Each structure stands twice: as structure tokens, then as C-alpha cells.
């Protein structure tokens, strides 16, 4: 029993250290990255740069944007580790999903991917934080576009389950290995059979799961190799307090 208690204590200490490291890293990176972005903006507006210099600056800008997304993920993880409290407000899911589709449309068009949505007009509102849910669906939809090959399809469906609304995002990508599916929402896990490296560090779906569960919802996935994947997000319908 003493050995077991020691093992549990060590795990808890490691978790605390990792959480503190994530929080500190996110804070320390923010200032230099903000400064870098300011200089990039100044360089891009400078009149004396030639085409080659503009290309180099644009490469730096893209790298900085990638780092900014990484930092945003660290901030989300830190927030979830410290306990995210959601104040439920009515959110129009159709409006939010339409915004996500518009934000992902350019990436889809560049690959000639057809983005279609089936969303009933008479849906009730869900209970949640609009900004947090926007991050959830932007990530899920971005993943679907990212892992779908050119000329493929991504379909968004919303279903009213009375006390909950369920959003399904279906892609025509390569599918996910069953052995990977059980680890898919774990921190820093990256799929081995995705057909693309994705360019991430394995935090995105962890954040999706954390944000959805903070809304008292559920997230799951169904996938078959060679036949694509479908991610399901279920959220509670907003109940007016009486």
C-alpha cells in the first residue's frame, strides 16, 4: 500500500509540474512573439523592400503565425488545467457554425473540397460560451479539411436530440487506425495513420475535449481506414432559469 501511495504522489507531482510549466511557458513566449509581430508588420509596410525580401518576410510571418497558434493552444491547455468555469449563455449554433464554415472556406477551396451543411432552421440555442465553442468547431472543421484529399467532401450535420444538439463533422479522408482512436484525445498524441502530419503538436483535440466537457457535453469519433472519419460534438440545450 505504501508503494502504491508513493506512485500516486509522484504522478500528481508530475502533473502539477507539467501544468505549471505549461502556464509559465505560455506567459514567457507571449511578449517576444508580440514584439516580433510588430516588427514584421513594420517591415511589410516598408516601401524599400524588393520582391525577394518581401518573400522572406512573408515566410517569417507564416512561421510567427504558426507559433501564435501554438501559443494559443498552450494558453487553452493552461486554462483547462486551472479549471475552466463556463457561464452558460444562449448560443445560436447555426450562426456559429456558419462563421466556422466561412473561416475554413478558403482552405477548402484551395483543395477543391466541397463544404456542405445540413442545419435545420428551428434549432434551439445551446448553453455555453460562444468564443470557446467557436474554437471547438473551428478546430474540428479545420482538421476535417486538412485530412481530406483534394476533390473530397466535408459534411456538417446538426441533429436535435431534445435535451441536446449533436453536431457531426464528416470527412472523406484516409480514416484513423483503431489503435489510434482510443488515444486520439490524449495530450500530445499525434495520429500515425492520418495521411498527413498535420503540423500540430497533439494538443488540439485535447483542447476540444476539455472545452466540450466544460460545457457538460461529449465529443467522440467514428472512423474506418479508407472511409473517412466523423467527429461528434454533443452540447446541452439552453434552459431558461425560472
CATH number at residue 128: 3.30.565.10
Tell me, yes or no, whether 53 and 101 share the same domain. Answer: no
What is the mean predicted confidence (pLDDT) over 220-235? 94
pLDDT at 231 over 90: yes
pLDDT band, very low/low/confident/very high, at 159 (cuts 50, 70, 90): very high
Name the grid cell of 101. 464554415
> Is position 57 within any domain?
yes
Of 81, 111, 132, the residue at which a domain comes to its end is 81
> Is position 31 within any domain?
yes
Of 47-61, 130-144, 149-163, which gets the smallest average pLDDT?
47-61
- Residue 194: per-residue pLDDT: 44
> Is position 200 within any domain?
yes
Tell me, yes or no, whether 202 and 222 share the same domain. Answer: yes
Tell me, yes or no, whether 22 and 140 share the same domain. Answer: no
Instruction: List residues bridging with 156 in a β-sheet.
Output: 117, 169
> Is position 210 within any domain?
yes
Tell me, yes or no, whether 37 and 136 share the same domain. Answer: no
H or E element that contains 36: helix 2-44
Angle 127-128-129 from CA coordinates, rounded to 5° = 155
Decide: pTM greater than 0.75: no
d(CA 120, CA 86): 26
- Residue 15: per-residue pLDDT: 56
Name the percent of the chain lying above pLDDT 70: 76
> Is position 112 within any domain?
yes
- Phi, psi at residue 124, to the nearest 5°? -75, 165
pLDDT band, very low/low/confident/very high, at 33 (cuts 50, 70, 90): confident
pLDDT at 7 over 90: no
Tell me, yes or no, whether 57 and 12 share the same domain. Answer: yes
Name the grid cell of 145. 479539411
Tell me, yes or no, whether 115 and 19 share the same domain. Answer: no
- CATH for 72: 1.10.287
pLDDT band, very low/low/confident/very high, at 95 (cuts 50, 70, 90): very high
pLDDT band, very low/low/confident/very high, at 225 (cuts 50, 70, 90): very high
Tell me, yes or no, whether 61 and 31 share the same domain. Answer: yes
pLDDT at 195 over 90: no
DSSP 237: B
What is the overall mean pLDDT for the chain? 82
- Residue 11: per-residue pLDDT: 44
Of 184-193, 195-204, 209-218, which gets the smallest average pLDDT?
195-204
Instruction: Give the residue with greater pLDDT, 39 vs 7.
Output: 39
Tell me, yes or no, whether 102 and 163 share the same domain. Answer: yes
pLDDT at 146 over 70: yes
> Is position 241 within any domain?
no
Q: Could you list the residue range(s) of the whole structural domain that residue 149 is in?
A: 89-236
pLDDT band, very low/low/confident/very high, at 186 (cuts 50, 70, 90): confident
Tell me, yes or no, whether 114 and 217 share the same domain. Answer: yes
- Residue 55: per-residue pLDDT: 82
DSSP 215: T
Tell me, yes or no, whether 221 and 112 share the same domain. Answer: yes
Predicted confidence (pLDDT) per residue in 35-87, tens digit:
888 888 888 787 778 888 888 888 887 777 767 766 776 677 767 666 777 78
Of 22, 50, 81, the residue at which a domain comes to its end is 81
> Is position 242 within any domain?
no
Of 81, 97, 125, the residue at which a domain comes to its end is 81
What is the mean predicted confidence (pLDDT) over 171-175? 94
> Is position 131 within any domain?
yes
d(CA 13, CA 138): 33
Split into its structural domains, the chain has a count of: 2
Three-state secondary-structure class, residue 58:
helix
Tell me, yes or no, whether 169 and 58 share the same domain. Answer: no
Tell me, yes or no, whether 106 and 169 share the same domain. Answer: yes
pLDDT at 21 over 80: no
Amino acid at each position: 500500500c505504501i508503494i502504491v501511495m508513493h506512485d500516486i504522489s509522484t504522478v500528481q507531482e508530475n502533473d502539477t509540474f507539467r501544468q505549471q510549466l505549461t502556464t509559465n511557458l505560455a506567459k514567457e513566449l507571449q511578449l517576444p512573439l508580440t514584439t516580433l509581430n510588430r516588427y514584421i508588420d513594420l517591415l511589410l509596410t516598408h516601401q524599400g523592400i524588393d520582391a525577394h525580401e518581401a518573400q522572406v518576410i512573408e515566410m517569417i510571418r507564416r512561421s510567427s503565425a504558426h507559433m501564435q497558434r501554438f501559443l494559443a493552444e498552450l494558453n487553452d491547455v493552461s486554462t483547462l488545467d486551472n479549471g475552466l468555469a463556463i457561464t452558460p449563455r444562449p448560443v445560436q449554433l447555426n450562426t456559429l457554425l456558419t462563421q466556422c464554415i466561412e473561416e475554413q472556406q478558403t482552405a477548402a477551396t484551395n483543395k477543391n473540397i466541397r463544404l456542405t451543411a445540413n442545419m435545420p432552421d428551428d434549432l434551439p440555442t445551446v448553453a455555453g460560451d460562444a468564443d470557446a465553442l467557436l474554437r471547438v468547431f473551428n478546430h474540428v472543421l479545420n482538421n476535417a479539411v486538412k485530412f481530406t484529399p483534394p476533390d473530397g467532401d466535408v459534411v456538417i450535420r446538426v441533429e436535435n436530440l431534445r435535451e441536446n444538439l449533436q453536431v457531426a463533422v464528416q470527412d472523406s479522408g484516409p480514416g484513423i487506425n483503431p489503435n489510434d482512436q482510443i488515444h486520439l484525445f490524449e495530450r500530445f498524441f499525434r495520429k500515425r495513420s492520418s495521411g498527413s502530419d498535420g503540423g500540430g503538436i497533439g494538443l488540439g483535440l485535447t483542447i476540444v475535449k476539455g472545452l466540450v466537457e466544460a460545457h457538460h457535453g461529449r465529443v467522440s469519433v467514428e472512423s474506418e481506414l479508407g472511409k473517412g472519419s466523423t467527429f461528434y460534438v454533443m452540447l446541452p440545450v439552453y434552459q431558461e432559469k425560472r
